[in-house]
Structure 1
Protein backbone atom coordinates (compact mmCIF):
# COMPACT_ATOMS: atom_id res chain seq x y z
CA UNK A 1 0.00 0.00 0.00
CA UNK A 2 1.31 3.41 -0.96
CA UNK A 3 1.72 5.89 1.87
CA UNK A 4 0.84 9.58 1.57
CA UNK A 5 3.84 11.92 1.50
CA UNK A 6 4.13 14.35 4.39
CA UNK A 7 3.36 17.99 3.62
CA UNK A 8 5.52 20.74 5.12
CA UNK A 9 4.03 24.22 4.93
CA UNK A 10 6.61 27.01 4.84
CA UNK A 11 5.28 30.48 5.63
CA UNK A 12 7.06 33.81 5.72
CA UNK A 13 7.32 37.31 4.38
CA UNK A 14 6.60 38.07 0.74
CA UNK A 15 7.82 41.38 -0.64
CA UNK A 16 9.45 42.39 2.67
CA UNK A 17 11.48 39.21 3.21
CA UNK A 18 15.03 39.79 4.44
CA UNK A 19 18.03 38.33 2.62
CA UNK A 20 18.59 36.06 5.62
CA UNK A 21 15.02 34.70 5.53
CA UNK A 22 15.30 34.09 1.79
CA UNK A 23 18.56 32.15 2.23
CA UNK A 24 17.02 30.05 5.02
CA UNK A 25 13.94 29.38 2.87
CA UNK A 26 16.03 28.10 -0.04
CA UNK A 27 17.88 25.71 2.28
CA UNK A 28 14.64 24.62 3.96
CA UNK A 29 13.07 23.87 0.57
CA UNK A 30 16.06 21.72 -0.37
CA UNK A 31 15.98 19.93 3.00
CA UNK A 32 12.27 19.21 2.64
CA UNK A 33 12.51 17.79 -0.86
CA UNK A 34 15.62 15.77 -0.04
CA UNK A 35 13.60 14.00 2.67
CA UNK A 36 10.72 13.30 0.28
CA UNK A 37 8.31 15.79 1.83
CA UNK A 38 5.89 17.80 -0.26
CA UNK A 39 6.60 21.50 0.09
CA UNK A 40 3.61 23.81 0.41
CA UNK A 41 3.80 27.60 0.31
CA UNK A 42 1.76 30.60 -0.78
CA UNK A 43 3.04 30.05 -4.32
CA UNK A 44 3.72 33.66 -5.21
CA UNK A 45 6.98 34.71 -6.95
CA UNK A 46 8.28 36.77 -4.02
CA UNK A 47 10.10 36.39 -0.71
CA UNK A 48 10.00 33.20 1.33
CA UNK A 49 7.36 31.64 -0.94
CA UNK A 50 9.55 31.88 -4.04
CA UNK A 51 12.78 31.01 -2.21
CA UNK A 52 11.51 27.84 -0.52
CA UNK A 53 9.94 26.69 -3.80
CA UNK A 54 13.22 27.35 -5.63
CA UNK A 55 15.17 25.32 -3.07
CA UNK A 56 12.73 22.40 -3.23
CA UNK A 57 12.79 22.38 -7.03
CA UNK A 58 16.56 21.78 -6.98
CA UNK A 59 15.99 18.23 -5.70
CA UNK A 60 14.99 15.43 -8.03
CA UNK A 61 11.57 14.00 -7.21
CA UNK A 62 10.34 17.22 -5.61
CA UNK A 63 6.71 18.27 -5.39
CA UNK A 64 5.96 21.94 -4.72
CA UNK A 65 2.39 23.07 -4.05
CA UNK A 66 1.41 26.74 -4.10
CA UNK A 67 -1.84 27.79 -2.46
CA UNK A 68 -2.43 31.07 -4.27
CA UNK A 69 -4.73 33.83 -2.99
CA UNK A 70 -6.00 34.79 -6.44
CA UNK A 71 -8.34 33.11 -8.93
CA UNK A 72 -5.89 32.21 -11.66
CA UNK A 73 -7.32 34.45 -14.36
CA UNK A 74 -5.06 36.50 -16.62
CA UNK A 75 -5.26 39.59 -14.37
CA UNK A 76 -3.76 37.86 -11.34
CA UNK A 77 -0.18 37.91 -10.12
CA UNK A 78 1.62 34.81 -11.36
CA UNK A 79 2.92 31.93 -9.32
CA UNK A 80 6.61 31.26 -8.95
CA UNK A 81 7.94 29.12 -11.80
CA UNK A 82 9.00 26.43 -9.31
CA UNK A 83 5.43 25.55 -8.26
CA UNK A 84 4.41 22.15 -9.64
CA UNK A 85 0.79 22.37 -8.54
CA UNK A 86 -0.93 25.74 -8.10
CA UNK A 87 -4.20 25.84 -6.22
CA UNK A 88 -5.95 29.09 -7.17
CA UNK A 89 -8.33 29.84 -4.32
CA UNK A 90 -9.66 33.32 -5.18
CA UNK A 91 -9.88 33.72 -1.39
CA UNK A 92 -7.29 36.40 -0.70
CA UNK A 93 -5.84 36.09 2.79
CA UNK A 94 -8.53 33.57 3.75
CA UNK A 95 -6.39 31.04 1.87
CA UNK A 96 -4.05 31.09 4.89
CA UNK A 97 -6.40 28.60 6.57
CA UNK A 98 -6.00 26.26 3.58
CA UNK A 99 -2.21 26.56 3.83
CA UNK A 100 -2.27 25.49 7.47
CA UNK A 101 -4.90 22.76 7.26
CA UNK A 102 -3.16 21.21 4.24
CA UNK A 103 0.19 20.96 6.04
CA UNK A 104 1.26 18.26 8.47
CA UNK A 105 3.81 20.66 9.98
CA UNK A 106 3.91 24.46 9.63
CA UNK A 107 7.21 26.35 9.63
CA UNK A 108 7.43 30.13 9.92
CA UNK A 109 10.69 31.09 8.26
CA UNK A 110 12.23 34.37 9.44
CA UNK A 111 9.03 35.93 10.70
CA UNK A 112 6.84 38.09 8.52
CA UNK A 113 3.86 40.38 8.57
CA UNK A 114 0.20 40.00 9.48
CA UNK A 115 -0.42 37.26 6.90
CA UNK A 116 2.36 35.10 8.29
CA UNK A 117 1.21 35.80 11.84
CA UNK A 118 -2.30 34.67 10.91
CA UNK A 119 -0.89 31.40 9.55
CA UNK A 120 1.00 30.82 12.81
CA UNK A 121 -2.17 31.57 14.80
CA UNK A 122 -4.24 29.23 12.59
CA UNK A 123 -1.64 26.48 13.14
CA UNK A 124 -2.01 26.84 16.90
CA UNK A 125 -5.81 26.90 16.69
CA UNK A 126 -5.84 23.79 14.46
CA UNK A 127 -3.29 21.93 16.65
CA UNK A 128 -0.81 21.72 13.79
CA UNK A 129 2.83 21.46 14.83
CA UNK A 130 4.39 24.92 14.52
CA UNK A 131 8.12 25.53 14.21
CA UNK A 132 9.58 29.03 14.30
CA UNK A 133 12.78 29.19 12.25
CA UNK A 134 15.06 32.15 12.98
CA UNK A 135 12.21 34.49 13.87
CA UNK A 136 12.58 37.80 15.72
CA UNK A 137 12.27 37.69 19.55
CA UNK A 138 8.80 39.23 19.42
CA UNK A 139 7.53 36.12 17.63
CA UNK A 140 8.82 33.93 20.45
CA UNK A 141 7.20 36.17 23.04
CA UNK A 142 3.86 36.02 21.29
CA UNK A 143 3.63 32.44 19.99
CA UNK A 144 5.64 30.43 22.53
CA UNK A 145 3.13 30.33 25.37
CA UNK A 146 3.50 27.51 27.89
CA UNK A 147 1.70 24.38 26.70
CA UNK A 148 1.23 25.56 23.10
CA UNK A 149 3.71 23.04 21.65
CA UNK A 150 5.52 25.59 19.52
CA UNK A 151 9.15 24.76 18.82
CA UNK A 152 12.05 26.94 17.73
CA UNK A 153 15.08 26.43 15.56
CA UNK A 154 17.88 28.80 14.70
CA UNK A 155 19.10 26.91 11.62
CA UNK A 156 17.71 24.68 8.89
CA UNK A 157 19.31 21.43 10.13
CA UNK A 158 17.73 21.84 13.56
CA UNK A 159 14.41 22.75 11.93
CA UNK A 160 14.44 19.61 9.75
CA UNK A 161 15.17 17.45 12.81
CA UNK A 162 12.17 19.02 14.57
CA UNK A 163 9.98 18.40 11.51
CA UNK A 164 11.08 14.75 11.39
CA UNK A 165 10.30 14.32 15.08
CA UNK A 166 6.84 15.89 14.66
CA UNK A 167 6.05 13.71 11.65
CA UNK A 168 6.89 10.57 13.67
CA UNK A 169 4.49 11.54 16.44
CA UNK A 170 1.02 10.00 16.29
Structure 2
Protein backbone atom coordinates (compact mmCIF):
# COMPACT_ATOMS: atom_id res chain seq x y z
CA UNK A 1 0.00 0.00 0.00
CA UNK A 2 1.20 3.52 -0.59
CA UNK A 3 0.61 6.83 -2.31
CA UNK A 4 -0.36 7.10 -5.95
CA UNK A 5 0.32 10.49 -7.53
CA UNK A 6 1.88 11.79 -4.29
CA UNK A 7 4.53 9.07 -4.08
CA UNK A 8 8.11 10.27 -3.84
CA UNK A 9 10.93 8.87 -5.96
CA UNK A 10 12.13 7.03 -2.84
CA UNK A 11 8.65 5.57 -2.26
CA UNK A 12 8.51 4.32 -5.86
CA UNK A 13 12.02 2.85 -5.73
CA UNK A 14 11.36 1.02 -2.45
CA UNK A 15 7.99 -0.23 -3.71
CA UNK A 16 9.61 -1.58 -6.88
CA UNK A 17 12.28 -3.40 -4.87
CA UNK A 18 9.68 -4.64 -2.39
CA UNK A 19 7.57 -6.03 -5.25
CA UNK A 20 10.63 -7.88 -6.54
CA UNK A 21 11.33 -9.25 -3.06
CA UNK A 22 7.71 -10.40 -2.66
CA UNK A 23 7.99 -12.31 -5.94
CA UNK A 24 11.25 -13.95 -4.85
CA UNK A 25 9.46 -15.19 -1.71
CA UNK A 26 6.74 -16.76 -3.87
CA UNK A 27 4.07 -14.45 -2.46
CA UNK A 28 1.42 -12.50 -4.37
CA UNK A 29 1.51 -8.71 -4.54
CA UNK A 30 -1.89 -7.16 -3.79
CA UNK A 31 -2.26 -3.40 -4.14
CA UNK A 32 -4.63 -0.64 -5.18
CA UNK A 33 -3.91 -1.54 -8.79
CA UNK A 34 -3.68 1.90 -10.37
CA UNK A 35 -0.99 2.85 -12.87
CA UNK A 36 0.70 5.38 -10.59
CA UNK A 37 3.04 5.72 -7.65
CA UNK A 38 3.66 2.87 -5.25
CA UNK A 39 0.92 0.73 -6.81
CA UNK A 40 2.51 0.74 -10.27
CA UNK A 41 6.05 0.37 -8.91
CA UNK A 42 5.29 -2.62 -6.67
CA UNK A 43 3.35 -4.38 -9.43
CA UNK A 44 6.10 -3.72 -11.96
CA UNK A 45 8.79 -5.01 -9.61
CA UNK A 46 6.81 -8.15 -8.83
CA UNK A 47 6.04 -8.91 -12.49
CA UNK A 48 9.62 -8.29 -13.63
CA UNK A 49 10.76 -10.78 -10.97
CA UNK A 50 8.25 -13.40 -12.16
CA UNK A 51 5.65 -12.86 -9.45
CA UNK A 52 1.86 -12.69 -9.42
CA UNK A 53 -0.02 -9.42 -8.97
CA UNK A 54 -3.56 -8.42 -8.05
CA UNK A 55 -4.94 -4.89 -8.10
CA UNK A 56 -8.16 -3.81 -6.40
CA UNK A 57 -9.30 -0.79 -8.43
CA UNK A 58 -11.50 2.03 -7.14
CA UNK A 59 -13.31 2.74 -10.42
CA UNK A 60 -16.03 1.00 -12.38
CA UNK A 61 -13.65 0.00 -15.20
CA UNK A 62 -10.01 -0.91 -15.60
CA UNK A 63 -8.84 2.20 -17.49
CA UNK A 64 -6.52 3.22 -14.62
CA UNK A 65 -5.12 -0.29 -14.11
CA UNK A 66 -1.41 -0.90 -14.04
CA UNK A 67 -0.27 -2.93 -17.05
CA UNK A 68 1.66 -5.10 -14.58
CA UNK A 69 -1.41 -6.74 -13.04
CA UNK A 70 -2.33 -10.38 -13.52
CA UNK A 71 -5.78 -9.72 -12.11
CA UNK A 72 -7.53 -6.34 -11.96
CA UNK A 73 -10.54 -6.37 -9.65
CA UNK A 74 -12.91 -3.59 -10.66
CA UNK A 75 -14.98 -2.49 -7.65
CA UNK A 76 -16.71 0.81 -8.42
CA UNK A 77 -16.25 1.46 -4.69
CA UNK A 78 -13.85 4.41 -4.72
CA UNK A 79 -11.77 4.57 -1.56
CA UNK A 80 -14.04 2.02 0.13
CA UNK A 81 -12.02 -0.54 -1.82
CA UNK A 82 -9.30 -0.01 0.80
CA UNK A 83 -11.24 -2.39 3.05
CA UNK A 84 -10.95 -5.12 0.42
CA UNK A 85 -7.19 -4.54 0.13
CA UNK A 86 -6.71 -4.75 3.88
CA UNK A 87 -9.00 -7.70 4.60
CA UNK A 88 -7.45 -9.68 1.73
CA UNK A 89 -3.90 -9.24 3.07
CA UNK A 90 -1.98 -11.31 5.60
CA UNK A 91 0.30 -8.33 6.30
CA UNK A 92 -0.22 -4.72 5.25
CA UNK A 93 3.01 -3.05 4.18
CA UNK A 94 2.79 0.70 3.69
CA UNK A 95 5.55 2.23 1.58
CA UNK A 96 5.42 5.98 2.09
CA UNK A 97 2.40 7.77 3.50
CA UNK A 98 -0.53 9.74 2.16
CA UNK A 99 -4.18 10.15 3.13
CA UNK A 100 -5.29 6.98 1.35
CA UNK A 101 -2.38 5.01 2.78
CA UNK A 102 -3.18 6.30 6.27
CA UNK A 103 -6.77 5.08 5.86
CA UNK A 104 -5.49 1.63 4.82
CA UNK A 105 -3.18 1.43 7.83
CA UNK A 106 -6.00 2.49 10.17
CA UNK A 107 -8.34 -0.11 8.64
CA UNK A 108 -5.64 -2.76 9.02
CA UNK A 109 -5.20 -1.97 12.70
CA UNK A 110 -8.96 -1.98 13.23
CA UNK A 111 -9.09 -5.43 11.57
CA UNK A 112 -6.22 -6.58 13.83
CA UNK A 113 -3.87 -7.06 10.87
CA UNK A 114 -0.13 -6.56 11.30
CA UNK A 115 1.33 -3.47 9.64
CA UNK A 116 4.87 -2.80 8.44
CA UNK A 117 5.72 0.86 7.79
CA UNK A 118 8.49 1.35 5.22
CA UNK A 119 9.72 4.90 4.58
CA UNK A 120 7.00 6.46 6.72
CA UNK A 121 7.43 9.81 8.47
CA UNK A 122 8.10 9.67 12.21
CA UNK A 123 4.82 11.48 12.91
CA UNK A 124 2.89 8.69 11.15
CA UNK A 125 4.85 6.00 13.00
CA UNK A 126 4.12 7.62 16.36
CA UNK A 127 0.44 8.11 15.51
CA UNK A 128 -0.15 4.50 14.44
CA UNK A 129 1.89 3.09 17.32
CA UNK A 130 -0.33 5.16 19.61
CA UNK A 131 -3.35 3.36 18.17
CA UNK A 132 -1.88 -0.16 18.36
CA UNK A 133 1.80 -0.43 19.18
CA UNK A 134 1.80 -4.23 19.12
CA UNK A 135 0.78 -4.49 15.47
CA UNK A 136 2.92 -1.69 14.01
CA UNK A 137 6.43 -2.58 12.89
CA UNK A 138 8.86 -0.31 11.08
CA UNK A 139 11.43 -1.16 8.46
CA UNK A 140 14.42 0.90 7.37
CA UNK A 141 14.95 -1.24 4.26
CA UNK A 142 13.18 -3.63 1.91
CA UNK A 143 15.17 -6.48 3.43
CA UNK A 144 13.95 -5.61 6.93
CA UNK A 145 10.34 -5.33 5.70
CA UNK A 146 10.60 -8.80 4.12
CA UNK A 147 12.08 -10.20 7.35
CA UNK A 148 9.09 -8.82 9.27
CA UNK A 149 6.69 -10.33 6.72
CA UNK A 150 8.40 -13.72 6.88
CA UNK A 151 8.06 -13.79 10.66
CA UNK A 152 4.42 -12.67 10.51
CA UNK A 153 3.29 -15.23 7.91
CA UNK A 154 5.37 -18.12 9.22
CA UNK A 155 3.12 -21.10 9.80
CA UNK A 156 0.16 -19.69 7.86
CA UNK A 157 -1.55 -22.19 5.62
CA UNK A 158 -1.12 -21.42 1.92
CA UNK A 159 -4.26 -21.56 -0.19
Normalising by the smaller structure, the TM-score range is over 0.9
**Given that residues 41 and 67 in structure 1 are in contact (C-alpha distance below 8 angstroms), is that contact kept between their aligned partners in structure 2?**
yes
- 1:169 deviates by 5.6
Which residue of 67, 70, 79 maps to 2:59? Answer: 70
1:138 paired residue number: 123
Question: More displaced, 144-153 or 118-127?
Answer: 144-153
Q: CA deviation at 1:56?
A: 0.2
Q: 1:122 aligns with which of 92, 107, 112?
A: 107
Runs of 4+, deviation exceeding 2 Å: 145-148
Output the TM-score relative to the length of structure 2. 0.93
Q: List alignment gaps of at least 5 residues for structure 1.
A: 1-10
Q: What SS is found at the alignment partner of 1:90? A: coil
Q: Secondary structure at the match of 1:103?
A: coil
Structure 2: stretches of 5+ with no match in the other structure: none
- Residue 78 (structure 1) shift: 2.1
Structure (1 or 2) with the greater helix fraction: 2
Q: Contact 2:113–2:135 at 8 Å: present in 1 too?
A: no
